Structure 1
Amino acid sequence: MSANSSPRAQRMAMLAASSATAQQATEPAASTEPSYICTSVTATTVESFLAEIQEAAASGVDIIELRLDFLTDFDPEQHLEKIIKACPLPYIVTYRPVWEGGKYEGPEPERLAVLKMAALMGAPYVDVEFKASPYFFADPHEVPLSTKVILSYHDFKQTPDAAVLNKLATAMRQAGADIVKLAAMANDIGDAARMLDLLRNKDGPMIALSMGERGQIVRLLAAKYGGHLTFAAMSPERASAPGQPDIGRLAGLFNYRKQSAATKVFGIIGNPVAQSKSPLIHNTAFQHIGFDGVYVPLLVDDLERFLAAFKDYDDFAGFSVTIPHKEAALRAAKDVDPVAAQIGAVNTLIRQADGSFKGYNTDWEAAISAIERGLAGVAGGAAAAAAAAAKNAGTPAAESPLKGRTVVVIGAGGAGRALAFGAAARGARVLIANRSRDRADALAAALAAQYGSAAAAAVSYEDLAGGRVVGDVLANSTSVGMAPNTEESPVPAAVAGQFKVVFDAVYNPLWTRLLLDAKAGGATPVDGLQMFVGQALEQFRLFTGGSEPPAELMERTVEESMGVKK
C-alpha cells in the first residue's frame, strides 16, 4: 500500500483485500441478501434505554439501532460497554449530531471517538454522517473491518433530484462506506420513485428511505427492491421518523420478509388514504390465497404526475382509486370498461401488457345492491350484499326495488356519478345535490341524455339542507363524516329522517353521524361497508387475474378492525 495513499483509499484497499480473501464466502451476493427490519431505541436515560433494548429484541426485528444521542445521562466510559452487552441482536450504534437531525450537541472529536470505541468493542454496524467521514476515517486502522460502516445523508426538507442522489451515493461509496444510507423528505409521492430508483440501480449495500407519508412506500417496499434494511417502530405512536410504519404492520400486513423482485405491487390512490381499510382487506386476501402481491397506501396529490413518475415500474400492476382522483383516473386510462365510460369515473386501474392502464368502475353495483337490500328490508352483511350484487349484475329496472323511486345523491364526483348512473339504470329518478351547482347540472344532463329528461335533475344543496327536497333514498357519496371528522354530516339531523333509506358511502366510522341521525329519525340506515367490501371483491378479481375472493374473510377482517360485533 502506497505511503502517499489517502486514509480513505487505504480503507477501500483494506476492504477490497478482505473481500477478495473471503471470496464472498461470508457475504452473500446483493441480490440474495435478505432485507432486515430495524427499530430504534430512543429512551432518554440509561436505565430505560437498557429496558427498551430488551423490548426491541422481543418485538420481532432483526437489528436494533442504538440512538445514543437521545440519552441525557450518557457517560461513554461508564455506559457504552454495558449498553452494547445488553443487545441480544445485531445492532447499529448511532450518535447523531443536531446538525444532522439528532440530539447530540457536544464536541465532534468526542462523538466520533465514541463511535470508534463502539467499533473496537465489536459493534456490527456504526452509523457515521457522510459530512463527518473524513474525520472518522482519518486513520482507517482505528476502525476494524469487522464493523460495517454506514455512511448516512439526511435531507429533512426535500428529495434531491436523481443526478444529485446518484452523485451522493457514488461519493459515499468512494469515501469508504460499507453501506450507503440516504434519507430524504418526500413532498410528493414522485419523490419516492427517485429513492426506489436508487435501490433498483444500487452498486452495493444501500439503505434508502423517504420520510413523510408521501414517501412511505419506500419503507414498505424496501425488501422488494433490495434495500439492506428498513426502519419500523415498536408501536405506531413511537415512530422515530415521519412515515415510519410499526413492526407488526410491516412484517405482517405488508408481508415484508416475503417480498421479492417478483412481488406485484398494488395500492390505494387517494388523498387522504391513512384511514383506508383497503391495504388491510387486500393484503389479508392476497396472503390467504398465496398470491405474491402487496397492497400499499399511496398518498397522491396529482394522479397524472404520479403515473408519470412510476411509468417504468411495470410491477406496479394495479390501483384502487378513491377521492379525489376517480375522474382523473378516467382520463388517465388508455382503455375504459364500457360501464366506467358511461359513468364517467374510474375506481380501478389495471396495468396492461403495453404499460398503459385500463379503467373499471366496481363501485356502482356494490352500492346499488346495498341500497336495494335496504329498500327490500333484507338482512345480511357486506359479503351477502356483494354476493347479491354479483348475482344481480345487469338486473332489469323492472325487477329492482329502485324502480319508480326518487334517489337523492349528495356529491357529483366519482362516487356520486357511480351512484347516480346505477340508480338511473335501475329505473329510479335521480336528484343531484352538490355544493358546486355546475357539477350537479352537468351530471344531471349526462343522466338525462342517457335515460331521458325525466330521469334526473339538479337540486340546490341549500334546498336539500333545508328539508325542501323530497325523495325515498338519500345517498351520500362525499367524504363528509369520515374519520377524524366524525361529528360532521352532509345534512341536518331532521333531514336525514325524512327518507325511507339513507346510504352513506363513508365506512370509517361505520356508524357515521348521518346514519345515526337517519336511524333516530326512523329511516333505514345502510352503511358504506357493504359498498366497500363489494367493490373490493371485484377489484380483487381484477388484481389477481380472476381468482375468486375470500368474501367472508375480507368482510370479517374489516369488521374486526372496526370493532363491529355481530
Structure 2
Amino acid sequence: MIKVRNVSIGQGIPKIIVPLIGSTDSELVKEVHHVMGLKPDIVEWRVDTYAEVGNLDAVQGMLSNLRDILVDKPILFTFRSFNEGGKREASVEFYQKLIKMAIQSKLIDLVDMELFLGDDLVTDLVCMAKENGIYIVMSNHDFHKTPKKEEIISRLRKMQELGADIPKIAVMPNNTQDVITLLDASNTMKEKYSDRPFITVSMGEKGVVSRLTGEVFGSAATFGSGRESSAPGQIDVMELSGILNVIHKNLEE
C-alpha cells in the first residue's frame, strides 16, 4: 500500500482514476470542474491530448492551474506515446524534458513512465522522481493483443525491479480467454510476486470485467471516464463507483 496525499492505493476498494483529455486551456478548466463533481480518487492529465504540449511553459502553467483547482486531489501526469495509444508522436528527447519538467515542478503527485523507453532513461527518470517525492506509475500498453500470462507477469516484475511504485499493464483481448489470461496473471502476481500495488487492465468491451474486479484479482486502481474516455472500455465514473462498492460490500460479508 502507498499513500498519495489522502488516498491509500493498494488497500480496500480499487481507486478510481479519471483522465482529463481536453485540448485547450478552456476545455481543460471546464473538464476538471466537471470531473471534480464526480469525486474521483485520482485525476490523470493526459497531456498528449493538449494542443500546447510542445510548449513546456504552457504545460507548467496549465499544471499550476490544475493544481489550484484540484487542491489536495492527487494528480497523475501522463504523456502516452503514440506507439502505446497516445495522441501524438514525440522524440525521446522531448519526452525526457517534459517528464523532468513535471517532476521538478512538484505540482504533480504521480508520473507515468513507459517501460519500453529503455532501461537507462527509465532509471534516470525514476531516480529524479524519487528525489522529488513523486510516485512512479510504470506502464505498458498493447492495443492489439494480450500477451501470454508469463509475459504479463514478467513485464510487471521488470517494472518492480526498475523502481516503479505502481506497475501497470493494459492489454487488448481478442476473445474471452484473453480476459481470463489477464485476470489469471493478475491473481498470480498478487499471490506470488507483488510487493506493492499494481494495475492491470483488459481493454475494450470484452475486458470490462477487469475494470470491476480489481479487489478480487489484485488490481489496485481502475480508470473511469469523465466527459470522455481515454481508452476503450472505460466506464462512467458514477456507474463504476457503484459497482465497486457493491463488490466490496459483498466481499466483506
Using the size of structure 1 for normalisation, the TM-score is 0.39
Distance in 1, matches of 2:236 and 2:218, equals 20
The secondary structure found in structure 1 opposite 2:57 is: helix
1:484-528 Cα deviation digits (max 9, x unpaired): xxxxxxxxxxxxxxxxxxxxxxxxxxxxxxxxxxxxxxxxxxxxx
1:374-413 matches, within 5 Å, as none
Give the secondary structure class of the aligned counterpart of 2:124: coil
Q: 1:44 to 1:188 in 2, by over 3 A?
A: same
State the shift of 1:133 in Å.
5.0
What is the rounded CA distance, in whole Å, between the counterparts of 2:7 and 2:247 in structure 1? 21
Aligned residue in 1 for 2:103: 119
Match of 1:136 in 2: 122
Aligned-residue sequence identity (percent) comes to 26
- Is 1:250 aligned to residue 230 of structure 2? no
C-alpha displacement of 1:194: 2.1
Q: Which residue of 2 aligns with 1:58?
A: 37
Deviations, residues 234-254 of structure 1 (Å, cap 9, x unaligned): 25xx222111111121112x1
1:177 is paired with a residue whose SS is coil
Cα distance in structure 1, aligned partners of 2:130 and 2:201: 27
For the residue of structure 1 that corresponds to 2:248, the secondary structure is coil
Q: 1:245 to 1:117 in 2, by over 3 A?
A: same
Distance 1:114 1:90 in 2: 19
Map of 1:169-208 to 2, 5 A cutoff?
A: 169-201=156-188, 202=190, 203=194, 204-208=196-200
- Cα gap change, 1:115/1:257 in structure 2, threshold over 3 Å: closer, same or farther? farther
Give 2:123's aligned amino acid: F
User: Deviation of residue 121 (structure 1)?
Assistant: 2.1
Q: Does the Cα contact within 8 Å between 2:29 and 2:66 map onto a contact in 1?
A: yes
What is the CA distance between 1:181 and its match in structure 2? 0.5
SS in 1 for 2:200: strand
| Paired AA for residue 220 in structure 1 | L
Secondary structure of 1:183's match? strand
Cα contact 2:13–2:248 (8 A) shared by 1:
no
Decide whether aligned partners of structure 1 residues 83 and 140 sit closer, same or farther in structure 2, where only a CA change above 3 A counts: closer
Does the 8 A contact of 2:52 with 2:58 survive in 1?
no
Partner of 1:213: 205
Quote the Cα distance in structure 2 between the aligned partners of 1:133 and 1:262: 43
SS of equivalent to 1:263: helix
8 Å Cα contact 1:155-1:183 kept in structure 2 = yes
SS of alignment partner, residue 37 of structure 1: strand
Contact in 2 for aligned 1:232/1:250 (Cα 8 Å): yes
Residue 58 of structure 2 corresponds to 78
Structure with the bigger RCO (C-alpha within 8 Å, sep 6+) is 2
Q: How many residues are paired up?
A: 237
Q: TM-score scaled to structure 2, two decimals?
A: 0.84
Unaligned runs of 5+ in 1: 1-18, 20-25, 265-291, 293-566
Query: Structure 2: any 5+ residue segments left out of the alignment?
Result: none
Distance 1:111 1:139, change over 3 A: closer
Aligned to 1:489: none
Amino acid at match of 2:251: T
Of residues 95, 102, 106, the one that matches 2:79 is: 95
Code of the residue aligned with 1:55 in structure 2: it is H
User: What residue number does 1:241 align with?
Assistant: 231
Is contact 2:25-2:62 (8 Å) kept? no
Instruction: Report the Cα distance in structure 2 between the residues aligned to 1:60 and 1:104, rounded to whole angstroms.
Output: 29
Note the alpha carbon deviations across 1:320-366, whole angstroms, 9 max, x for none.
xxxxxxxxxxxxxxxxxxxxxxxxxxxxxxxxxxxxxxxxxxxxxxx
CA–CA distance in structure 2, aligned partners of residues 248 and 34 of structure 1: 14
* Structure 1 vs Structure 2 CA RMSD: 2.6
| In 1, Cα distance between equivalents of 2:7 and 2:58 | 34
1:131-155 Cα distance to aligned partner (Å, 9 max, x none): 1152132365422352111111111
